[in-house]
Structure 1
Amino acid sequence: MNALAARFNAIFGADMAGPLAALAAVLVVFSFASPHFLTGATFGSVAFQLPELGVLTLAMLMPILTGGLNLVTFTANIAGLTLAWTLQANGGIDAGPGAFLLGSALALAVGAASGLVMGLVIAFTRAHPILVSLSMMIFLRGLGEFLTRGGDISGFPTFIAPIGHGSILGIPVPLLILIACVIASHILLSRSKLGFSTYMIGSNIESARYSGINTRKVLVLVYMLSGVMAAVAGIIMLARFNSVRVGHGESYLLITVLACFLGGINPFGGFGRVLPVFVALIVLQLLSSGLNLLGANQHLTTAVWGILLIVVMVLRWFSAKFIRIVK
């Protein structure tokens, strides 16, 4: 048994056991609960619904690894609004590809600027990341509500729709974007100096500083990349919904945190990988689809996610306590 566990850890990593067990449990339970669960329609729905949540979770991941936090949904909203305003200013539904490219570049710049401000404040004032993130969230929400008068912006060129609904060789385009973001994040965290420094800061920022790491620079870069990733999610949401408003994606905030913790990310930073988080995202989306097939509404699904977050934290506490007893 120990040899089997050691081989599993060598192939997948110890942090993959929880997400894979949760995936197996969800598949088994809902396959018995509903005959329509293990169908192409369910998995097709998951493939189209997962990407914006997945990219937002990746945007949340890097700040958490440093021991921080970024409430990314409103950065995604303001980035989506930036793209929408650019398209509206260049003809709305008649806007051309050039306007879309310009708007996307501006959206990514807005996301990076949001992260830059947060990173600078956290790095140089040592303010608590939760307070800085809450302040930025309130600012972005208020700014968005002021500029849109609480309404939405809709009516975009038809060539944008495939980004949210199209397929290439049967694979949804937004899923391909998510996979590209997952690969990029995995390489960044596991193969780059920035990734190594991110883990070091999350483990012990003072030790990282004394070891020669420019912790301020790393924190600023981490939050900028988080903002850019959130902007990518905002662009996907605009294409999927064909509209943008300040509240879009707000319900995703809890799930991004839950996916990180279910994927084995240490909430205090310093430990965690991208691939287990990706599996955890699939688990949560399958859970949502399964509950929908059983007739549960979105409010019950949100309640289940909240309870699941508590259960995950309790189980991790028991697991840590058990490991200490065994040692």
Structure 2
Amino acid sequence: MLKAVRKSILQSGSDLKTLALLIVILLIAFGVILPGKFLTTRNFQSMAFQLPELGLLAIAMAVVMLTGGINLSIIATANACGIVIATILTHTVSRDASIAASIGPLLLAVLAGFAVSALIGLINGLFIAYVGVSPILATLGTMTIVEGISVLVTRGRVISGFPELLLTIGNSSVLGIPVSFLIFIIAAWLVTILLERTPFGQAVYMMGSNETATEFSGINVRRVTVLLYGLSGLLCGISSLIMVSRFNSARVGYGASYLLITVLACVLGGLNPDGGFGRIVGLVLGLGVLQMMSSGLNLLGFSAHLTEALWGVIILVILFLRRARGKGLGFGLQPPRRGKEAMQ
């Protein structure tokens, strides 16, 4: 099984090359179609500002998909975290407060928000690992409960009016690179190290390949599942921090359309919905492809609703190619092996 895990990580090289080539093609195509509009510093900065919150939610989805699971509560978790952060800040510090006066309340609010998001993830993991509820039903139930509590707390209203220190996270840049984008890249790098360089990450890939065999190999599958969903919740919290900072507000319903796109980004990035295969670097490239397509279509004047419909078509096409070719996800990946073959 260990050989299968290593192979699943290494054999995605062709997948990454295909995604990189697709990015180059999009750059050339939109550069020709939109001269002086697409290949500009302003447009790339705009894409870098828009990508991080979606990217972090996609990573939150990806880490559980590697085990064959899914987390339908990522949007509700992120919004709940944002509401906690916003509520604490609006009750402890004014919007005109100095940086020195804002540091303490901001740290308290962020830690409380992250604790809530991680707790929601851990609850998902406990239901899946110990109660035996399927991931789709457990996270659907959690999503409904969290959304209901969030509406009850906020009464559906928008919470706004945050100190300048918070707003700098989602709206400032360092050497022309958005701070939020740097946070996303650091988070993606750390998750990559966790998954590809640690025993915990190896266990995640093994579970996705064959959970029964993983359990017989001495790995505490339940513990790994709980921690993995906790990590997913924490990543939702980081995304929420950026979202609240960029929008200068928090409410129930933000990012509702992101759920479909996170699944699309995972599939496009080479992750197998059945688990066991995929890398975060592939997901990042997939996100780059989607962001470029979204930006290019927007500059061409296409409706945002038409773009969302296009995402759904792309998912179906990729899954069709996977089934038709009997390979990964249409990009040359092999299907996960089961039983004795996976244990070799």
- Contact between 1:80 and 1:244, CA under 8 Å: does it hold in 2? yes
Q: Which runs of 5+ in 2 are unaligned?
A: 1-8, 335-344
1:132 matched residue in structure 2: 138
Are 1:85 and 2:87 counterparts? yes
Q: Which moved more, 1:315-324 or 1:17-26?
A: 315-324
Select which of 165, 172, 175 maps to 1:169: 175
- Contact between 2:55 and 2:287, CA under 8 Å: does it hold in 1? yes
1:3 matched residue in structure 2: none
SS of the residue 2:326 aligns to: helix
- Contact between 1:18 and 1:262, CA under 8 Å: does it hold in 2? no
- Contact between 2:45 and 2:176, CA under 8 Å: does it hold in 1? no
In structure 2, C-alpha distance between the alignment counterparts of 1:308 and 1:78, rounded to whole Å: 30
Report how far residue 15 of structure 1 moved: 2.5
2:273 matched residue in structure 1: 267
Q: Which runs of 5+ in 1 are unaligned?
A: 1-8
1:37 matched residue in structure 2: 38
Deviations 1:300-325 (A, max 9, x none): 1111111111111122223326989x
Matches within 5 A, 1:119-268: 119-268=125-274
In structure 2, C-alpha distance between the alignment counterparts of 1:199 and 1:155, rounded to whole Å: 43
- Contact between 2:45 and 2:177, CA under 8 Å: does it hold in 1? no
Deviations 1:259-291 (A, max 9, x none): 100010000101110101101101101110001
In structure 1, C-alpha distance between the alignment counterparts of 2:65 and 2:11, rounded to whole Å: 25
Deviations 1:88-108 (A, max 9, x none): 120342462101100100111
1:74 matched residue in structure 2: 76
Are 1:18 and 2:24 counterparts? no
2:105 matched residue in structure 1: 99
With normalisation by structure 1, the TM-score equals 0.93
In structure 2, C-alpha distance between the alignment counterparts of 1:145 and 1:12, rounded to whole Å: 42
In structure 2, C-alpha distance between the alignment counterparts of 1:11 and 1:270, rounded to whole Å: 12
In structure 1, C-alpha distance between the alignment counterparts of 2:230 and 2:291, rounded to whole Å: 27
Q: Which moved more, 1:143-152 or 1:26-35?
A: 26-35
Report the residue type matching 1:31 in the other structure.
G
SS of the residue 1:237 aligns to: helix
- Contact between 2:61 and 2:232, CA under 8 Å: does it hold in 1? yes
- Contact between 2:47 and 2:295, CA under 8 Å: does it hold in 1? yes
Identity of aligned residues (%): 46
With normalisation by structure 2, the TM-score equals 0.88
SS of the residue 1:270 aligns to: coil
2:314 matched residue in structure 1: 308
- Count of residue correspondences: 316
Deviations 1:105-129 (A, max 9, x none): 0111001100110000000122110
In structure 1, C-alpha distance between the alignment counterparts of 2:285 and 2:253, rounded to whole Å: 27
Deviations 1:230-265 (A, max 9, x none): 000000000000001111111111111101000100
In structure 2, C-alpha distance between the alignment counterparts of 1:122 and 1:57, rounded to whole Å: 20
In structure 2, C-alpha distance between the alignment counterparts of 1:231 and 1:217, rounded to whole Å: 21
Report how far residue 222 of structure 1 moved: 0.1
Matches within 5 A, 1:2-17: 13-17=13-17
- Contact between 2:15 and 2:282, CA under 8 Å: does it hold in 1? yes
SS of the residue 1:96 aligns to: helix
- Contact between 1:18 and 1:263, CA under 8 Å: does it hold in 2? no
Q: Which moved more, 1:34-43 or 1:158-167?
A: 34-43
Q: Which moved more, 1:28-37 or 1:141-150?
A: 28-37
Q: Runs in 1 of length 4+ with deviation above 4 angstroms?
A: 9-12, 321-324
Report the residue type matching 2:103 in the other structure.
P
SS of the residue 1:156 aligns to: coil
RMSD over equivalenced CA pairs, Å:
1.8
